[in-house]
Structure 1
Amino acid sequence: MKITAAVMRAKSGTFSLEQLELDEPKDHEVLIRMVACGICHTDLLPRDQVVPAPFPAVYGHEGAGVVEKVGAQVTRLKPGDHVVMSCHFCGECDTCMSGQPMYCRDFFKANFSFARMDGTSTLKNGEEVVHGAFFGQSSFATYALGSERSVVKIPSDVPLELMGPLGCGVQTGAGAVINSLRPQAGDSIAIYGAGSVGLSALLAAVVTGCAVRICVDPNEERLKLARELGATHTINPSKINPVDEIRSITQGLGAKFSLETSGNLSALRQAVDSIQIMGECGMIGAPAYGTEIGLDTWGLLLGRKVRGICEGDSVPQLFIPKLVELYRQGRFPFDRIIRFYAFDEINQAVEDGEKGRTIKAVVRF
C-alpha cells in the first residue's frame, strides 16, 4: 500500500517526506495506522552511523496507532485496537523464554538490521529498496508494520497520541527503577540526566516511594521541571561537584542507587562514585561502540554494583499496561515532558531535541 514516510538518505542528513510502498502484513504481523510517534536519541544513532546502518532508511520506534489489518496467524490483536509499538525480539531464545526479551540473543538483528528477521524488506520506492523494520516497526510513517509479539494493546480511553514513548524512552527510564534497581520505600536514588529517560525514572522513583530523589543535569529549566515532578534535590554539575553534594545530602553515605541516562562518560563515573557501600548504579546511556571507562576498583570491592540496563528490563506486554494505568490514576504524569509536532515538522523536532529545547518530541500524523 502507498504510505508517506520520513526517509533518511545520507549520514547526518535530514528527513524527507516521500511516498513509499509498504508490504502487506505477513502471518504474525499487523498493519497499523500511525497516530503519533516519539523521537528518541536511538533514532539518530543510525543517522550518524554510531551504529552501522544502510541508507536510505526509515526510522521511528515509539509508534502509537490503530490496528488496520492483521496477518493470518495473529490472535491477540484485531482491527480497531489501540496499540503501542515496542522493541522487537525473537521470542524463542533462552533469554526471551525466561522472561527477559530485552536481552534477546538476536536483539541487534531484530532491531538494527533494517529488515524482517527473515531478511526480507518491508518498504520500497519503485524498484529501490528503502530499509525499514527499524525496531520491528519504522514508525516515522503514516502506516507501519509490527510484530504481534512486540505490539501492545492499550485501553481506548487514554489519549493515544501521548502513548508512543511508552514503547521505548519512558519504558526504559521507568523500568530501570521499577524492574531493574527495585528500590524499597525510603531509599535514596541519584538520577544523572533530566531528559525523557531520566525524568521517567524520576516519576518511577516517586511511585516506588524513594524518599530522597536527586536529579543531576546542567540545564536549569530541566532541573526546575524535575523539582515539579518530584525531585527532592537537584544538582547542576557545572556549578557544584555532584558526588560531594550527593554525599552531603545522604549524611556522607552516598545514594543507595544511581542511574546514568545520558551516555556521558564523566557522568557515568560520577554516578558510580555517588553510590554507597553495597549500592548499585544502573547504566542506560549509550556512548559510541568500543567506549571504555575507568572505575575505582577498590570502591567496587566494597560491594558496589554497576550494571547495564536495556529497555528497563521490561516485558512490554506486561509493563506498558502498568504504566498506562499509573498515568490514568494521575501517578505517572509523563505527559509533562512531551511536546507535539506535525509530521512535516520532524526535522525541527529533531533539532529541538538535540539542542535541549524539547525533552520528548512526538510527531502527530
Structure 2
Amino acid sequence: MKITAAITPDQGKDFVLDEIELAEPKANEVLVKIVASGVCHTDAVARDAAIAPLPAVLGHEGAGIVERIGDNVTQFKPGDHVVLSFAHCGHCRNCLTGHPTVCETFNDLNFGGVHDDHTHRLSQDGRSLSTFFGQSSFATFAISHERNIVKVDEDVDLALLGPLGCGIQTGAGTVLNKLQPPFGTSIAIYGTGAVGLSAIMAAKIVGCKNIIAVDVHENRLELAKELGATHSLNGKEVDVVKEIKAITHGGTEFAIDTTGVPPVVRQSLQALRPLGISAIVGVTPEMTIDVHNDIMAEGKTMLGVIEGDAIPQIFIPQLVDYYKRGLFPFDKLVKFFDFNEINEAFSASKSGEVIKPILRIQ
C-alpha cells in the first residue's frame, strides 16, 4: 500500500515527506494507522549519527489504531487503540525473565533496519528503506510485531500517548521498576527534559522525601517543581554536589542522570550518600571516573537502565491509569506539531523550546 512517510535520506539531512510503499503485514504482525508520534532524542541521534542504516523512516513513539492484522494475531483486532514500543525477540533468557529491554538481540531488532525475519517492509521506487525500532512511526501507517504493541484505553486522547512507548517510559520506569526508592528516601534527577521530568513525577508517586531537580534552564526547573520536585538547582549557578549534601544531610540514596554529560554523571555519583545508587539513562560518551573515590570507597553503585526496565504491556497501562487519576500529568510536557512541521519540531526539541514535541500524523 502507498503511505506518506518522513524519510531520512542520509546522515544529518532534514526529513523529507514523500510517498512510499508499505508491504502487507506478515504472520504475527499488525498494521497500525498512526495517529501521532512523539519526537525523541534517539530519533535525532539516528538521523545525525546514523546509528541505523540510511535511508530510513525513523520514529519510535507511535500511537494509532489497528487497521489490519496478520495471521496468528490473537491479542488485537481492527479498531483497537494502541501504543507502539521497542522491539524484542520474546524468547531469549532476558525476555523470558521479564527484562525485554535488554533482549539479547535488542540492537539488531531496533537499529538493524529490518524486521525480525531480516526483511524490509518499506520501499521507494524499488529501493528498500530501513525500519526503526520495529515500527517506523514517522508515517501514516506502520507495521509492527504484536509483541511490541500495547493496547490502551480508548477514553484517553490517543494522540497524547505515543511518548509512553519510549521517553516517558524510560524516566518513570527507572524510578518505579528499577530503583524502587522506598518511601521517605531522597533522589536527584539530572536533566529535566521529558525523561527527567517523568522520573520526577514517578518519584512523587512513590513518596520520596527530597526530589532534587538539576538543570541549567530555569523554565525547566520551574516546571520540575510544578510536577513534584522539592528542590531545584541550576548547575551553572551553584555547586551541585555541595548543595545536595546540604539539603539531604549527607547525599541522596538515589540519582538518575539523563544528560549523558560526563561531568554531570560524576556529580550524580559524588552527591550520593554511602551505598547510594546512580542510574545512567542518557547516551554517554567515553569518560573518566575515579573508581575508588566516586564508587568503591563508599560502596556506591552505578548502573545503566534501558527503557525503564519496563514490560510495556504491563507498564504503559499503569502510566495511563496514573494519568487518568491526576498523578502523572505528562501532558504538561508536550506540544503538538503537524506532520509537515517535523523539521521544526526537531529544532524546537534541540533548542529546548519544547520538552516533548508530538507530531499529529493524521
Q: Does 1:292 align with 2:287?
A: yes
Q: Tell me what 1:261 maps to.
A: 258
The 2-side partners of 1:89 and 1:346 are apart by 27
Q: Tell me what 1:216 maps to.
A: 214
Deviations 1:206-253 (A, max 9, x none): 0011010000000010001111111100000000111111001011x1
Q: Tell me what 1:118 maps to.
A: 117
Q: Tell me what 1:271 maps to.
A: 268
Deviations 1:308-360 (A, max 9, x none): 00000000011001000000100000000001000000000000000110000
Residues 180/141 of structure 1: CA separation in 2 closer, same or farther (3 Å cut):
same
Alignment of 1:1-365 (within 5 A): 1-49=1-49, 51=51, 53-132=52-131, 134-251=132-249, 253-288=250-285, 291-301=286-296, 302-365=298-361
The 2-side partners of 1:50 and 1:220 are apart by 32
Number of aligned residue pairs: 360
The 2-side partners of 1:363 and 1:85 are apart by 15
Could you tell me how far 1:50 is from its partner in structure 2?
Answer: 5.8
DSSP-derived class of the 2:161 partner: helix
Deviations 1:249-284 (A, max 9, x none): 011x10110000011111101011111001100000
**Percent of counterpart pairs with the same letter?**
47
The 2-side partners of 1:215 and 1:73 are apart by 47
The 2-side partners of 1:295 and 1:48 are apart by 31
User: What runs of 5+ residues in structure 1 fail to find an aligned partner?
Assistant: none
The 2-side partners of 1:285 and 1:103 are apart by 16
Q: TM-score, normalised by structure 2?
A: 0.98
Deviations 1:3-32 (A, max 9, x none): 000001121110000100001001011000
Could you tell me how far 1:292 is from its partner in structure 2?
Answer: 3.0
The 1-side partners of 2:294 and 2:170 are apart by 27
The 1-side partners of 2:352 and 2:46 are apart by 20
The 1-side partners of 2:252 and 2:78 are apart by 48
> Partner letter of residue 328 of structure 2?
F
The 2-side partners of 1:50 and 1:270 are apart by 30
The 1-side partners of 2:182 and 2:230 are apart by 17
> Partner letter of residue 328 of structure 1?
K
The 2-side partners of 1:260 and 1:297 are apart by 20
Deviations 1:137-167 (A, max 9, x none): 0000000011100100001001101000000
> Partner letter of residue 250 of structure 1?
T
DSSP-derived class of the 2:147 partner: coil
> Partner letter of residue 23 of structure 1?
A
Contact 2:266 / 2:294 at 8 angstroms: preserved in 1?
A: no
Could you tell me how far 1:298 is from its partner in structure 2?
Answer: 3.4
Residues 285/215 of structure 1: CA separation in 2 closer, same or farther (3 Å cut):
same
The 2-side partners of 1:297 and 1:103 are apart by 28
Q: TM-score, normalised by structure 1?
A: 0.97
User: What runs of 5+ residues in structure 2 fail to find an aligned partner?
Assistant: none
The 2-side partners of 1:287 and 1:57 are apart by 24
The 2-side partners of 1:304 and 1:118 are apart by 42
The 2-side partners of 1:293 and 1:41 are apart by 24
Deviations 1:79-102 (A, max 9, x none): 000000000000110000111000
Structure 1 stretches of 4+ with a deviation exceeding 4 A read: none
DSSP-derived class of the 1:149 partner: helix
The 1-side partners of 2:221 and 2:177 are apart by 25
Could you tell me how far 1:44 is from its partner in structure 2?
Answer: 1.4
The 2-side partners of 1:47 and 1:31 are apart by 25
DSSP-derived class of the 1:231 partner: coil
> Partner letter of residue 29 of structure 1?
E
DSSP-derived class of the 1:136 partner: coil
